[in-house]
Each structure stands twice: as C-alpha cells, then as structure tokens.
Amino acid sequence: MGFVLLGVVVWLTRIEDWRSYTPLAGGSGAVSEESGYAHEEKPGGIIRWFTTVDHKDIGMLYGAYAVIAFSVGGIMVMLMRAELIAPATDVIGAEFYNSLLTSHGITMLFLFGTPVLAAFGNYFIPLLIGADDMAFPRINAIAFWLLPPGALLIWGGFFTAPIASLDIVPAQTAWTMYTPLAAGVGSGTQANVGVDFMLLGLHLTGVSATMGAINFIATIFTERGPDVNWANLDMFSWTMLTQSGLILFAFPLLGSALIMLLLDRNFATTFFAAGEGGGPILWQHLFWFFGHPEVYILVLPPMGLVSLILPKFSGRKLFGFKFVVYSTLAIGVLSFGVWAHHMFATGIDPRIRASFMAVSLAIAIPSAVKTFNWTTTMWGGNVKLTAPMLFCIGFVSNFIIGGVTGVFLAAIPVNLVLHDTYYVVGHFHYIVMGAIGFAVFAGLYYWYPIFTGKMYQRKLAKAHFWLSMIGTNLTFFAMLYLGYLGMPRRYATYDFPIGPVNIITVFHQIATLGALIIFVGQVIWVWNFVQSWYEAPSMEDVDPWNLKETGQFTHEWQWHERRTETAIADGGEDTESGATENQSR
C-alpha cells in the first residue's frame, strides 16, 4: 500500500499546471467541450473525477463517498437491530454481530462523519470566504483519495471471510479497540489479520483528515476575499477552523497509538501488554485523548451549519454572534480536558476523577450558550418551516436531550452506575444521529439548489424529516431506558439474568421499530435527491429562499447568482475580461 501511495504522489508531481484546468459542468465523452470562458480544457466524464483538483468537484466526491459509507453503516445496524428483537442469538450470531458492531461504529465516525463535513467544507468554504479554491488543491485531492483504500481495509474482513483458505475475518474489537483484546490476547479472533487491516485503514483516514485540516486552516487564514475579515467571517467557517485545529492535535496522537498497537500485535512490543510496558490503561488514555475531542470534531461544524442556516429561515441575523464564536473556541480548548470521564470506572485516582468531572460539566456551558442563542434567534423572528429549518429545529431539540444526558454521565456517581450500559449508547446517538445527522440534512437541503441547480420535492423532504425525528426519538430514548434497566452495551443477546427480560425485550423491539422508521426515511431522502437531480427542471430563481428580503444573501448565493447569469462554466475563469475575480470561481 505504501508503494502504491508513493507512486500516486510521484505521478501527481509530474502533472503540470493542474490549476489551469477548468471543470466544465455537463460535458460528455472523455473530454468536455471548450467554453468561451475557460482558457484550457479539463477532461470530462469519469476522467474528470479522477484528476480534478477543483474544490467543488472534491466536495462532491467527499459527499458521494460519505453517502456510500452512511448506507453501509445503516445496513450494518439494521442487521444488528434484527438480532436484538428477541433475547436469543438466532438471526446473525454473536461473532458476526460483534463484527458489525465494530465496523458500524468506525464507519459512521471515520468514513461518514468526518468526510461528510469535509464535503461541505471543500465545496462551500472557498465560496463563503471569497477564495479561488482551497490553499493546496493537490493536497486536497490526495486527502480524499486516501479514503477509499482506507474504507476497503476497514471493511476488508467482510470481503475475505467467505474465502476459507485466506483465514481473514472482520475485526471484533468494537470501535474503541481496547487492549489487551485488540492486542491479540485471548482465544478469540482478535489475533487475526483482519484487525490489522482495520488499524491500517484507520491510519489512512487519520492521515487524510490531518491533511484536510491543514488545508482548511491555510485557506481560511490566507485566502479570504478583501471584504471578509475575522469580524464578519461566517459561523460555518469559524467552526471548521476550530475543528481543523482539534484535528491537528488529536489525529496524530491516534495515529501514534495505532502504530504502537500494530507493533504490539506483530512485533511483540509491550506498549499495552498487561503487567508490562504501559499497560492496557495507557491505550485508554491515548485513545480517549483523541476520542473525546473527536466528538467535538464531529459536532462543531454541524453547529456552524445550524448557526448559518437557522437565521435564514427566522428572518433575522443570528442572535449573539460574538458569543457563538467565543463558545466555539471555548469548546475547542475544553475538549482536550475531559477525556478521562470515559475512564471513571477504571480505578484512577479519585482526585483526578474529580478534576475531569469538573471540566466535563464546564464544557456544557458553551454548548448551552449556543442553544440559547439559536432559540432566541427563532423567538424574535419570522420562522419559515422549510425542510432545512425543520432539520435545524430537530437538531436543537435532539442536541438538548443528548447534552443533558451527557451532563449526567459527567457526574462520577451516576457514571459508575450507567457506564457501559445502553444509556451511553442512547446519549451518544442522540448527538451523532439526532444532532450531527440532522444538521447535515439541513445543509444538504439548504444548498441543494447550488450544487444541482434544481429543487427537491418539498413534501418528500418533510416526510424525511418527520420519519427521521420520530424514529430517532423512538430508538434512542428506548436505549436510555434500557440503560436504566441495566442492559449492557455491545451484547448480541440478553438471554441471561440482567433484569426484567420481558420489559427489556419490549424496549429493544421499540428501538428496532424506530431504527426501521429511520431507515425508511433515509430511503425517501436518497430517492428524493437522486430523482430530483435527474428529472426536476432547472431553477431560474437564484434566490429560492428569499434571502435578499432579509439581507442574508451571502457570498455562496452571490456566486451562484453570478454563475447563473453569466453562464461561466463551473470553476472556470473569465479570461475575456483579462482578470480573475476571487468570488466568481
């Protein structure tokens, strides 16, 4: 794999002047037709997507990749929920369940969560700040193309498992990869090379995220247009900038820990060996020093999306803009001081536990500031319940539930009772699906006219929202209650004495029903987007949300208006005028 990546880098360095190429909209065959505004052709068809360095094209690639990962992760969890309808393991079996459990978590966090936010960032941040492109277009392309081989390595065990002669099975370590289990100790399958594949795939995704973070930081610092300064920088760019800073500190540590784990597994080192070296607790410290900032790496840009979109349909500017910025920066700083609240049950010093409890409670304050600002923005505004706005409101309500349940887990006595139960699963998924997922859908619906030039079916979009909202609360509220009943997480069965089995069965069935409702909602979403993209008429209205009425016709919509009016090819340059305008690309 290393030789392949080295070959790709050498090949890229031999290609001259990629930035002179222009990605042309439409086009057929191997080469797009020449435009009067483009000074040089860019390959069309599939060759365009393999060779592009245009930020909008790469944003679309990230988006397509994230949708595929979201679909794979969704199918995995539907199989898991089918197993949990009844107490016994009578559908897919315990080992396959553990494989799905491991890959579902890694897929949704590393292959869907981070890439889908990179999709928004790549496509829209240069437009929002008035830049030509990302600061390093080639690095931008390389960062994306590290992800497909990473996914193949992470999912590799599923492809090779049917081939008995290879003896490679999917990893069953759970997404946290706790040692000594993940180090290959024990009589199970953890010494199998499928775990090594997964670790290598995770390493590639981490390198990709780090390269992207460097690019976002450089772009926002150096590529802003003359009318964009720190005082009027949009909230999405602020949150992507903060996220990128977190990635620079968090992901390299994960990469180092993964290398140490690979060395333990394959070269008999003792970084995480029980009784030797650093011991299993060292892995937990290293992993969660990355792992909890990762939660904010995933949730900060969705907060920025909501802060950007919600005012547009409230008919007024975001209330307390500066405080939302300050709270974003505060979350970024505090996020590195809370990791050990995942380790309260490990027996660490009570004084250390108390300090981490204090910071874990304190980090709720800047999140609450944002929540009050969003609520106040709507309170004094003229709310329009479009699909993007519905998903923003859904984000706020789900985020409140996820946040409040997290405050309880930050308290040591409560944490010791609920640790490793379904309560933790419900809390986490209220944030990941109920908040992050809803903000992603809000962004997709809000900017759909820009990246397609068309409009989706509004009734189907609202059906998607209501199915997602009902399903999310059915599924994850049931999990919170299962946690109170003592149901442990990561079990393929509950056919053993843990509590009132009949009641636990009912709540598992409610959670499965909710998951099915969510799944139907996402099928409607995919159908709506694809069918509208291919069959809906092109929009002539460049202001579908009537943003000019409230003075919120921001840079990306201004770019869309100029593109529509001048018919300049997407990403091209107006060489007839002899000058290139930053915001017209």
Confidence of residue 557 (pLDDT cuts 50, 70, 90): very high
CB 103 within 8 A of CB 97: no
Does the pLDDT value for residue 164 go beyond 80? Answer: no
- Which of 489, 482, 484, 483 has its CA nearest to residue 504? 482
- Which of 339, 338, 342 has its CA nearest to residue 364? 338
Confidence of residue 161 (pLDDT cuts 50, 70, 90): confident
Does the pLDDT value for residue 31 go beyond 50? Answer: no
Name the token pair of 125. Answer: 């941040």
Cα–Cα distances (Å) from 279 to 260, 275, 276, in that order, read 12, 6, 6
First-last CA distance in the chain: 35
CA distance 122 to 62: 9
Does the pLDDT value for residue 328 go beyond 80? Answer: yes
What pLDDT score does 133 carry? 93
The beta-strand segments (E) located in 321-474 are: none
Distance, C-alpha 45 to centroid of its chain: 28
Confidence of residue 235 (pLDDT cuts 50, 70, 90): very high
Confidence of residue 7 (pLDDT cuts 50, 70, 90): low
CB 36 within 8 A of CB 55: no
**Quick one: 573 exposed, middle or buried, by C-beta within 10 A (0-12, 13-18, 19+)?**
buried
CA distance 89 to 124: 46
Does the pLDDT value for residue 341 go beyond 80? Answer: yes
- With residue 452 as reference, give the H or E element that holds it: helix 438-452
CA distance 367 to 289: 20
Name the token pair of 421. Answer: 């139960």
Q: Which of the listed ranges 30-34, 49-53, 166-170 does the model predict with the highest average pLDDT?
A: 49-53
| 268 vs 391 pLDDT, higher one | 391
Calculate mean pLDDT across residues 497-510.
Answer: 91
Average pLDDT over the chain, rounded to an integer? 88
CA distance 424 to 295: 14
pLDDT tens readout for residues 245-262? 999 999 999 999 999 999
Helix (H, G, I), strand (E, B) or coil at 573: coil
Q: Which residue has the tokens 């080992």?
A: 95
Fold of the 50-298 domain: Cytochrome C Oxidase; Chain A (1.20.210)
Q: Percent of the chain, pLDDT > 70?
A: 89
Domain ranges across the chain? 50-298
pLDDT tens readout for residues 374-424? 999 999 889 999 999 999 999 999 999 999 999 999 999 999 999 999 999
Cα–Cα distances (Å) from 331 to 121, 325, 447, in that order, read 20, 10, 27
CA distance 311 to 383: 9
Side chain identity at residue 349, one-letter code: D
The 3-state secondary structure of 11-58, one letter per residue: HHHCCCCHHHCCCCCCCCCCECCCCCCCCCCCECHHHHHHHCCCHHHH
Calculate mean pLDDT across residues 425-441.
Answer: 97
Calculate mean pLDDT across residues 136-146.
Answer: 96
Does the pLDDT value for residue 26 go beyond 60? Answer: no
Name the token pair of 529. Answer: 């987007």
Side chain identity at residue 202, one-letter code: L
**Quick one: 112 exposed, middle or buried, by C-beta within 10 A (0-12, 13-18, 19+)?**
buried
pLDDT tens readout for residues 102-120? 999 999 999 999 999 999 9
Helix (H, G, I), strand (E, B) or coil at 199: helix
Confidence of residue 445 (pLDDT cuts 50, 70, 90): very high
| 86 vs 20 pLDDT, higher one | 86
What pLDDT score does 418 carry? 96
What pLDDT score does 46 carry? 87
What pLDDT score does 196 carry? 94
Q: What is the CB neighbour count within 10 angstroms for residue 366?
A: 20
Q: Which residue has the tokens 């056919």?
A: 495
Residue 411 is classified by DSSP as S
What pLDDT score does 28 carry? 33
CA distance 45 to 544: 29
CA distance 424 to 427: 5
Cα–Cα distances (Å) from 92 to 95, 100, 155, 508, in that order, read 8, 10, 18, 16
CA distance 96 to 80: 9
Evaluated on CA atoms 541, 545, 547, 553, the torsion sign reads negative
pTM over 0.95: no
Of all residues in the chain, what percent are helix, strand and coil, respectively (each to 5)? 70, 0, 30
Residue 210 sits at the vertex; the CA angle it makes with 209 and 211, to the nearest 5 degrees, is 95
Q: What is the CB neighbour count within 10 angstroms for residue 539?
A: 17
| 331 vs 13 pLDDT, higher one | 331
CB 303 within 8 A of CB 378: no
